[in-house]
Structure 1
């Protein structure tokens, strides 16, 4: 099979690789579509703490089942989305059903070969059958959409609330879309990228250009000096860390979505 392989810092090449050999409880998935995540870029630039070359990246992907080993509800030819998390199933978090925060959590495409290839071996319990109306291209977005859905569900967002999203990257935009579907009356979203802000406006959000305007003042103006009911911080830097406090109303809610990087001396 052909595979895009991360071989060293800032170097990825197309290689011919042997097709994966599946084990009991696994399926061989022929990849249809795969998304490029910010985490993939982190790996590419040699900044990820776990991912090691050589590695086939890609943890956002969909495909078709070509082989199966083991009892399953799936059939050959089924279109599926892949849930990339790999949990131990025995630690305290897993026993509570919180597999996504497993103490030994690993991910397909980070800790083992992933979706930037023609075929991937995937545990059967990490597969999700696609509805007929959902395209395989859209299904490759299931993982980031799941992050957005989980984020909004964990918040106390109510119908009629005003929400602020700090960071208009893919996750920020998806959170905005889910927040609107959950009933948010007004969604304000800030960024320094004009391209991202254009997309935010197209999606019906109120864009705030953080490169040109004071985000806190803009939010105050847009909320009659009250502040947002829910603030989602999705940028992960010191500027937005300060803004998330100052854009929230009194007794509002702040949801930290991003992961802050440790400063290196």
Structure 2
């Protein structure tokens, strides 16, 4: 079978390797679709702090079960699934106390351990989430990023009726905003520079602030009035937007940092204290977040298809990164199609 290996930043080689066989409590999968995310782009640029080369990428996937290992009873051949790509130790304090998603020894497929960019892949059955009939394989490959959004939104208790500002209208920001709305938030607005991403946010029913043309403070007042934003989700991952999220918060607001911030960031802690802000991080997801993501899609409360702007064949994997780098104001989600690969 073919396996895509990133041997160094920006270079992918295809290798012929043996089809893996499932062991105890494992399943063999035929990979159907792979989504490319911002963290993958960091790896492609050589800027991911926790990934070394060579690496097999692929952590946003949809797949079909093709073979069952001994002990697997909850799945059958032909089942359509997606994969929770965490590899955890099971014995550290977080794992033993319901926080396995932030395991002290956490590895993520496609970054610190082998990802799913291959024709077939073997994984523990308890890492699977079933895709119900009616969900396309494209949508299945987007359950993982939607689970990121679900987990981020669930970090805020009692979201119902609250004003929500999302800074950043990329795929994660868009999904966070849609999820917040689905979970009962009052007004939800997305702040973004790209006209294409602003249009896409409006297409899925979100309010927008073009922060290139309108002062963000004015946009917040226009949408939320004097109450301003109760909750701000930072979904860019830059030092500037983290500082901006805190600066835009009114007294008593909650700021959730969703974007992956790789640089050290200065935070005005005096402002945080004086405004009695709640500032929290969010990382990855748990099984329940995947289940909630599927439920939101089935209920029609989150739209995924408008976010998919491009498809690339498996053999043209590098072209996905070229699209993202060269047309970043247009491209949202690129899907790798595996169907042309044997």
Alignment RMSD (CA, Å): 1.8
Q: Is the 8 A contact 1:157 1:229 kept in 2?
A: no
Q: Deviations over 1:94-153 (max 9, x none)?
A: 011211000000011112222221111111110112212222221111111111111111
Match of 1:31 in 2: 31
Match of 2:249 in 1: 248
TM-score by length of 2: 0.73
Q: Is the 8 A contact 1:65 1:76 kept in 2?
A: yes
Q: Is the 8 A contact 2:187 2:223 kept in 1?
A: no
Unmatched 5+ stretches in structure 1: none
Q: Is the 8 A contact 2:239 2:263 kept in 1?
A: no
Q: Does 1:209 align with 2:210?
A: yes
Match of 2:18 in 1: 18
Match of 2:52 in 1: 52
Equivalent-residue separation in structure 2 for 1:102 and 1:35 (angstroms):
24
Instruction: From the superposition, tell whether residues 157 and 247 of structure 1 become closer, same or farther in structure 2 (CA, over 3 Å).
Output: farther
Match of 2:84 in 1: 83
Equivalent-residue separation in structure 2 for 1:189 and 1:63 (angstroms):
32
The structure whose RCO (Cα within 8 Å, separation 6+) is larger is 2
Match of 2:148 in 1: 147
User: Which has the larger strand fraction?
Assistant: 1
Pairs within 5 Å for 1:120-139? 120-139=121-140
Which region of structure 1 is more displaced relative to structure 2, 124-133 or 79-88? 124-133
Unmatched 5+ stretches in structure 2: 265-342
Offset, 1:176:
0.8
Match of 1:165 in 2: 166
Equivalent-residue separation in structure 2 for 1:17 and 1:47 (angstroms):
28
Equivalent-residue separation in structure 1 for 2:179 and 2:242 (angstroms):
22
Q: Is the 8 A contact 1:81 1:140 kept in 2?
A: yes
Offset, 1:87:
0.5
Q: Is the 8 A contact 1:30 1:120 kept in 2?
A: yes
